[in-house]
Structure 1
Amino acid sequence: MPISAHIVVQGAERAVAFYSAAFGATEVSRIPIPDGRLMSVTLQLNGSELHLADEFAELGVLAPPSIGGTPVVLSLEVDDADAVFARAIAAGATVRQPVSDMFWGDRHGQLEDPFGHRWNISHHVRDIPQDEVVAAAAQLFGA
C-alpha cells in the first residue's frame, strides 16, 4: 500500500486553490464541517494523493506556523522542474533553493508554500554512480 501525505494548513480552501494553480492538483473529495473548516480534502497530484485539512488547534492538529515551521519536506518529481517551480512561485510560493543541476543527477530546487510546507521539486537528468554521489556529498559537506 502506498504512503501518502496528510498535511495541515491554515486556510484549506486557499490551499486547494494554491496546489491546483502551482502543481496542477485536482480535487477528489472534501469533508466540510459546519463552522466552515475542511476536515479533509483529497487532491490528486502527479499520480499521488495529497490529503489536507484545516488546522484544529482545539484538537492539537496544528499547521507549520503554529508550531514554528516544519521538519518535513514533500518531494514532487515532475517532467520539468523549472516550469513547475516557476508556476509555484507565480502562485505564491517562496524560493528556499533555486532550481539547479545537482550532483546526484537531478534538476532540483526547494520552495516553501504559503502555508509553511516545504517542497522539493525535481526531475531526473542523468544517472550518477552511487560512489560518485557519496564522494560529492562528502566533498560538499567538508569530509
Structure 2
Amino acid sequence: MRPPVAPYLTVSPALAAIAYYTAVFGAKQKAIMPAFDGLRIMHCELTINGGAVMLADAFPELGHTRIAVPGELVTASVSLEFEQADMVDDVFAKATSLGGKPETSPTKSFWGTRFATFRDPFGHRWLLNGPLR
C-alpha cells in the first residue's frame, strides 16, 4: 500500500535518476514501465525511506509535461524524515559526492533536527531531517 501522498517527479533521463536515487537513498524499484520508444520511462515507482516516489521522463509530445530548461531549478521539494540524525550526514555525503549540489550542509536546526538540503543532478530539491536526541 502506498502512503496517502507521494511525489511524482518528471525527470529526464529517468533511468539516470533511478540510478542516482538508488545509489544515494538505497531506493528499491517497485514498478517500472518503459515507453514504446525504448528510450524513456513512462512510469517508475521507487520506495525511498519507507515512502513512495514516482517518476517518469518528460513526454512533451503528449502535451502534459515539458522538458526542463538546462540549469532551471525545480520549484517543488521532497522532504525525508530519517530515524537517526547521522543518516542526514550519510545521505548528504553520498548525494553531493555523486553530483548533487549542496544548499545547506548538515546542521542542527532551530526546530530540533539534524537538517540538510541539496539539489540532485536533475534540479529536484531534497530536504533531509533526523531527530536530535
* Residue 114 of structure 1: how far off its partner (Å): 0.5
Match of 2:12 in 1: 10
Q: Given the two structures, how large is their TM-score scaled by the length of structure 2? A: 0.87
State the Cα RMSD in Å: 1.7
- CA gap of 1:88–1:67, structure 2 versus 1, over 3 A, is closer
Counting matched residue pairs gives 126
Residue segments in structure 2 that go unaligned for 5+ positions in a row? none
Q: Given the two structures, how large is their TM-score scaled by the length of structure 1? A: 0.81
| 1:31 has 2:20 as partner | no
| 1:61 has 2:65 as partner | yes
* Residue 64 of structure 1: how far off its partner (Å): 4.5
CA contact (8 A) 1:9 1:62 kept: no
Residue segments in structure 1 that go unaligned for 5+ positions in a row? 127-143
Instruction: Kindly provide the CA deviation profile for residues 33-72 of structure 1, in whole angstroms up to 9, marking residues without a partner as x.
Output: 1212101000011110100000112223135446932221
Q: Take 2:68 and 2:113, find their aligned partners in 1: how far apart are those partners?
A: 28
- Structure 1 ranges of 4+ moved more than 4 A: none
* Residue 15 of structure 1: how far off its partner (Å): 0.5
Partner SS for 1:21 = helix
Partner SS for 2:65 = coil
Q: Larger Rg: 1 or 2?
A: 1
